[in-house]
């Protein structure tokens, strides 16, 4: 019997060329870029709040209400203030799809729908519309009118006696300042 020797091949002949596989520096840079892309995707997801379900897409949602995830820890927007203006807690029975994973089981908000420090609340859409109008139209308009009235005042002077403030009514920046719409805005709630 004849001994068969394994055929020796040059490893350089079968290995991918540097151009095909890239240099070690290119591979490290690609891994770093992939990691950065993954971290950015995670950041975007975290910033978008994907943890919370979008109750507006649920078939059991009552269209007469505006739903809101309220923070139980916000000092400048406490839950009791939301309740004073008409918000009420959403019960798990209203959204059967949330009963198992989002029911608060203990503490002050037990029995309601919640996630971490947030609880789901609702308010009639008519009240939500009015609240949006007040906070995002009327108050900013009043601030514009205040800014415009202060700009007209001539008593402000610098330390050399030169008048400060004042404006020409035709200035573009002041042209529409403080102007009311013929009809108030409508917000999607």
pLDDT tens for the chain, 189 residues long, are: 555 555 555 555 555 554 555 677 788 889 989 888 888 776 666 555 567 888 888 888 999 999 999 999 999 999 999 999 999 999 999 999 898 889 999 999 999 999 989 999 999 999 999 998 988 888 888 888 887 777 666 566 778 877 766 666 566 666 666 666 767 777 776
Output the pTM of the full model. 0.58
107 with 161, same domain: the answer is: no
96 with 62, same domain: the answer is: yes
Task: Give domain status of residue 146, yes or no.
Answer: yes
Contact 129, 189 (CB under 8 A): yes
82 with 115, same domain: the answer is: yes
Report CA-CA distances (Å) from 123 to 43, 52, 149, 174: 31, 19, 36, 37
Report the domain count for the chain.
Answer: 2
Number of other residues whose CB lies within 10 A of the CB of residue 104? 19
pLDDT at position 126: 93
pLDDT at position 189: 66
Structural domain including 135 reads 127-175
Task: Give domain status of residue 30, yes or no.
Answer: no
120 with 142, same domain: the answer is: no
């Amino acid at each position: 019997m004849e001994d068969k020797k394994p055929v020796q091949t040059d490893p350089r002949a079968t290995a991918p060329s540097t151009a095909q596989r890239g240099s070690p520096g290119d591979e490290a840079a690609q891994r770093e870029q992939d990691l950065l892309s993954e971290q950015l995707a995670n950041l975007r997801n975290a910033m978008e709040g994907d943890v919370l379900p979008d109750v507006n897409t649920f078939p059991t949602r009552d269209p007469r209400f505006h739903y809101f995830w309220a923070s139980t820890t916000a000092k400048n927007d406490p839950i009791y203030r939301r309740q004073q203006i008409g918000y009420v807690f959403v019960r798990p029975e209203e959204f059967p799809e949330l009963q198992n994973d989002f029911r608060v089981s203990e503490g002050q908000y037990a029995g309601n729908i919640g996630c971490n420090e947030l609880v789901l609340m609702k308010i009639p859409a008519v009240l939500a519309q009015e609240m949006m109008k007040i906070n995002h139209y009327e108050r900013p308009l009043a601030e514009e009118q205040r800014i415009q009235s202060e700009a007209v005042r001539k008593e402000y002077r610098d330390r050399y006696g030169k008048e400060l403030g004042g404006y020409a009514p035709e200035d573009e920046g002041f042209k529409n300042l403080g102007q009311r719409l013929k009809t108030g805005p409508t917000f999607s709630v």
